[in-house]
Amino acid sequence: MVTIKDVAVRAGVSVTTVSRVMNNRGPLSENTKTAVKRAMEELGYMPNDVARALGKNSLNIIGLVVPSIQHPFFAELVHAFEYDSYTRGYKLMVSASDYDYKKEKHSVGLLRRTMVDGIIYASHSMGSDFLEDMKVPAVTLENVFAGLPAILSDNAQGGFLAARHLLARGCRNLVTISGQRNLHLSADERTLSFIRECERQGASCKVYSADEEMLKTMEYSRIVSQVFNENPNMDGIFASSDIIGAQCIQMAFSLGYKIPDEIKIVGYDDVILSRLVYPPLTSIRQNIPDLVKATMDTLVALIAGEKVPETQTIPVTFIERRTT
Amino acid sequence: MVTIKDVAVRAGVSVTTVSRVMNNRGPLSENTKTAVKRAMEELGYMPNDVARALGKNSLNIIGLVVPSIQHPFFAELVHAFEYDSYTRGYKLMVSASDYDYKKEKHSVGLLRRTMVDGIIYASHSMGSDFLEDMKVPAVTLENVFAGLPAILSDNAQGGFLAARHLLARGCRNLVTISGQRNLHLSADERTLSFIRECERQGASCKVYSADEEMLKTMEYSRIVSQVFNENPNMDGIFASSDIIGAQCIQMAFSLGYKIPDEIKIVGYDDVILSRLVYPPLTSIRQNIPDLVKATMDTLVALIAGEKVPETQTIPVTFIERRTT
């Protein structure tokens, strides 16, 4: 890294003189100015944000904590956050918990010590105590911790829309495969509201829950096999992610089911995957652009010291494709 | 962000005194020490890396530039870089070019001004001139620019392995769908080496090239339709990404082809998607862990001022699944 000192040496002047040229301050000969500017150019010197940040206490960095970057939903989410940060003049520091509490805690500590302007917490390994303690503007996504503003996706609506559609298509023996449920995530609402609507319409609904290992490896074949083995008469599946939905399609095909005639499948998230499987997967779209915009608006308002809503819920959209 | 000044006010002492307590310097009463430490705790003050960085000229940040974060291959790549950086004590600042030269140039400028310790350039929108000019340790991934150390995946081997396998399975009328070819990427080698092996074994091979819009939207149906329309007798396809491969599976199914009996398909990258489609896709695995390790080893050596190899080529692995 080229420093102001390197520029001074190259230009044959003092550091103070270089600083005066940069700030256009004090009496300076044209020769000196030219020499310093040439030295800066030759060395590729660029005044850095760090020194400036000490003054205003900001590096214009947003820290983002997600459980995973490679999981398709979070990949699309991180992508959207990077773009939004860019348009607002922020840089994005990304940290993945890898579903590991220790890594997450360490990463959040690092983010804080780097003097990020704010933190977006879209993971779920840590307790609320740690986040509330941070004294850095922070917004949570898909998590509710007392004291921190939360942006939520309308999971209850998602579960309801999936149920209503499958029931309207004539399904009466339903199964739902949910994510890991003991996390008390906002995502649990998908399952609860799906069950409620099935019950309300008098249809049978069985619930299966994945475990953390499946979430981590994105490998759900064990639970998907179990679902197909134990429910030979099921006619509809609501999978709480497109990844699970894709694996239901694979299993249905390999057992000789016709999709959607004999079994109907609805996924969740509407990630790119849902368009790449065959048949393309009906899904519930989490509106990533709106989730990201609401989160960033809230974080930027918090950084500016403004009051922000405690929770904001972003609607989901039902996307019909060819598995239903 | 809590500053040293806030701590001083809360403790009822001067900033100099707080600094003395932090550095354990000069004569201090136990009462003063206790008051300052309590104020730090109450306010959640943490000495930040920024002030320290000014001294050693490093914030321990690695800047990573990729074309996209949501593209499955890059999502897995960024995930692996985040993990590797974490284990080495670096934080990761991620920037996506979104295939936009201006955004990329701006982002790289931002990274530099934030005083990153080094930059990993895994994108392809910029000319080499800009990167060579940066005067920051930089390593390129899957790009060769004169003057910058490059880590490459063995694309020539990848194309060869795909051809050898399809030919051994009896394919004689082959088609390959390559990425955008005028970028002069190292990835072009996949196609060239595939064609070479087909020619060497006397099999027919037609080449189709995608355009940038397809790459950006991950939507290849136009070119995939064209391939199927113009080549009713083809018996094997080599797709230069699993995303293209998945869309070939969709098209083959919707036209009533039997996979792999009537048509065989090989993808590329071996991203999670290849295991989630039906039938699971035979693919060429880019060894992301090894690519990431070589890139980080090289960057860390550059940062330390050591000499590094000009190019390093990481082997690929043939992964047979059920489309061949």
Both A229 and A81 in a single domain? Answer: no
Both B115 and B193 in a single domain? Answer: no
Which residues in chain B are closer than 8 Å to A47, comparing Cβ atoms? 113
Give the H/E segment covering residue B301.
helix B288-303
- For residue B53, the distance in angstroms to the closest alpha carbon of chain A comes to 8
pLDDT at B158: 97
Which residues in chain B are closer than 8 Å to A44, comparing Cβ atoms? 133-135
Both B104 and B179 in a single domain? Answer: no
Whether residue A279 lies inside any domain: the answer is: yes
* CATH code assigned at B182: 3.40.50.2300
Cβ contact B246–A103 (<8 Å): no
Whether residue A323 lies inside any domain: the answer is: no
Both A226 and A131 in a single domain? Answer: no
Which residues in chain B are closer than 8 Å to A104, comparing Cβ atoms? none
Q: For chains A and B, what is the number of CB pairs under 8 angstroms?
A: 179
**pLDDT tens digits along A102-143:** 888 877 777 777 678 899 999 876 555 666 666 788 999 988
Q: Taking a C-beta distance cutoff of 8 angstroms, is the pair B174, B204 a contact?
A: yes
Whether residue A190 lies inside any domain: the answer is: yes
Both B276 and B180 in a single domain? Answer: yes
Both A282 and A159 in a single domain? Answer: yes
Q: CA-CA distance, B222 to B205, in Å (whole number)? A: 20
pLDDT at B47: 59
Range A226-235 average pLDDT: 97
**pLDDT tens digits along A139-168:** 999 887 767 899 999 999 999 999 999 999
- For residue A35, the distance in angstroms to the closest alpha carbon of chain B comes to 20
Neighbouring residues of A161: CB distance < 8 A, sequence distance ≥ 6:
A284, A316, A318
Total structural domains within chain B? 3
Whether residue A321 lies inside any domain: the answer is: no
| Nearest chain A residue to B98, by CA | A83
Which of A54, A91, A278 has its CB closest to that of B253? A278
Both B276 and B298 in a single domain? Answer: no
pLDDT at A1 over 60: no
Cβ contact B94–A96 (<8 Å): no
Averaged pLDDT of chain A: 88
Show the 3-state SS of chain A: CCCHHHHHHHHCCCHHHHHHHHHCCCCCCHHHHHHHHHHHHHHCCCCCHHHHHHHHCCCCEEEEEECCCCCHHHHHHHHHHHHHHHHCCCEEEEEECCCCHHHHHHHHHHHHHCCCCEEEECCCCCCHHHHHCCCCCEEEECCCCCCCCEEEECHHHHHHHHHHHHHHCCCCEEEEEECCHHHCCCCHHHHHHHHHHHHHCCCEEEEEECCHHHHHHCCCHHHHHHHHHHCCCCCEEEECCHHHHHHHHHHHHHCCCCCCCCCEEECCECCCHHHHCCCCCEEEEECHHHHHHHHHHHHHHHHCCCCCCCEEEECEEEECCCCC
Which residues in chain B are closer than 8 Å to A15, comparing Cβ atoms? none
Q: Which range among A32-36, A62-66, A70-74 shows the weakest confidence by mean pLDDT? A: A32-36
Both B191 and B293 in a single domain? Answer: no
Q: What is the signed CA dihedral for A88, B111, B150, B122, rounded to 10 degrees? A: -10
- For residue B136, the distance in angstroms to the closest alpha carbon of chain A comes to 6
Whether residue A277 lies inside any domain: the answer is: yes
- For residue A202, the distance in angstroms to the closest alpha carbon of chain B comes to 33
pLDDT at A24 over 70: no
Both A97 and A164 in a single domain? Answer: no
- For residue B50, the distance in angstroms to the closest alpha carbon of chain A comes to 6
Both B169 and B272 in a single domain? Answer: yes
Q: CA-CA distance, B30 to B50, in Å (whole number)? A: 29
Both B110 and B177 in a single domain? Answer: no
Q: Taking a C-beta distance cutoff of 8 angstroms, is the pair A111, A65 a contact?
A: yes
Interface test with B, best of A22, A43, A50, A52 (most B CBs within 10 A): A50
Cβ contact A44–B93 (<8 Å): no
Range A39-57 average pLDDT: 62
Cβ contact A272–B103 (<8 Å): no
Interface test with B, best of A41, A49, A79, A269 (most B CBs within 10 A): A79
Structural domain range at position A78: 56-153+289-314
Whether residue B110 lies inside any domain: the answer is: yes
Which residues in chain A are closer than 8 Å to B94, comparing Cβ atoms? 78, 82, 92-94
Both A224 and A172 in a single domain? Answer: yes
| Nearest chain B residue to A55, by CA | B51
Which residues in chain A are closer than 8 Å to B86, comparing Cβ atoms? 95, 103, 106-107
| Nearest chain B residue to A87, by CA | B103
Which residues in chain A are closer than 8 Å to B52, comparing Cβ atoms? none
Q: What is the signed CA dihedral for B105, B110, B116, B121, rounded to 10 degrees? A: -20
Cβ contact A114–B276 (<8 Å): no
pLDDT at A63: 93
Whether residue B99 lies inside any domain: the answer is: yes
| β-bridge pairing B283-286 and B316-319 | antiparallel
Range A33-37 average pLDDT: 86
Range A285-290 average pLDDT: 97
Cβ contact A115–B49 (<8 Å): yes
pLDDT at A57: 59
Q: Which range among A26-40, A185-199, A202-216, B297-311 shows the weakest confidence by mean pLDDT? A: A26-40
- For residue A249, the distance in angstroms to the closest alpha carbon of chain B comes to 8
| Series of mean pLDDT values for 10-residue runs along chain B (324 residues) | 80 85 77 86 65 60 93 96 92 89 80 81 70 77 82 96 98 92 70 95 95 90 97 97 97 96 97 96 97 97 93 97 98
- Beta-carbon count within 10 A of A184 CB: 10
- Here the tokens at position B48 are 């930040």
Whether residue B324 lies inside any domain: the answer is: no
Cβ contact A91–B86 (<8 Å): no
* Top-confidence residue, A77 or B106: A77
- Beta-carbon count within 10 A of A34 CB: 12
